Amino acid sequence: MSAEETLWKGTSSQWLNIGPFTAAVLAAVGIVVGAVFFPPAFLALVLPLAYAVWKFLVVRTRVFEITGERIRITQGVINQHVDEIELYRVKDTQLFRTWWMRLTGLGSIFLDTSDRSTPKLTIPAISNSMEVRETLRKQVELQRDKKRVREMDFDDADADGLGDL
């Protein structure tokens, strides 16, 4: 039995945490200012620091891996959870880059799948997003050809169920 080849493995950028990190800094500044009048308030500095560390770890421990056959998502700071999606179940891939993502060289990949447990998946704020999406798209087609599987979309045009009576 051969091991699957990893085509890409990575985590999201910590740029996702710019809001929480800014909030933690502002809270810390507020606590320091308040501690000038009430010195025991310095102990409260632990709260914004713990919050920022937790947010950092949540992003850091969510790892995306694209192999020759599947997408594996490993996540969890304390308890670890692994989810897998077979590549042939990926129906559509979209790349999204906001203005701040373009400035920082990041992008998010949105996947629409036929997997019941994970019908939609986002790989947020990753580097080289265009190359990763193209690698993923090519590998999906290879897996579909290998397994002789095709995705079919059915429109809701016949929502009443009457068909061509």
- With contact defined as beta carbons under 8 Å apart, do 124 and 96 qualify? no
Determine, yes or no, domain membership for 51. Answer: yes
pLDDT at 158 over 90: no
Determine, yes or no, domain membership for 65. Answer: yes
Residue with token string 């770890």: 57
Q: What is the pLDDT of residue 1?
A: 42
Determine, yes or no, domain membership for 152. Answer: no
Tell me which residue range forms the domain holding 47: 6-147
User: Residue 115: which CATH number?
Assistant: 2.30.29.30
Q: What are 23-78's pLDDT values in tens digits?
A: 999 999 999 999 899 888 889 999 999 999 999 999 999 999 999 999 999 999 99
**144 C-beta neighbours (distance < 10 Å), count:** 16
Question: Could you please report the per-residue DSSP string of 101-150?
Answer: HHHHTEEEEEEEES-SS-SEEEEEEEETHHHHHHHHHHHHHHHHHHHT--
pTM of the full structure: 0.84
Determine, yes or no, domain membership for 19. Answer: yes
Determine, yes or no, domain membership for 108. Answer: yes
Split into its structural domains, the chain has a count of 1
Residue with token string 């179940």: 89
Q: What are 119-136's pLDDT values in tens digits?
A: 999 999 999 999 999 999
Determine, yes or no, domain membership for 92. Answer: yes
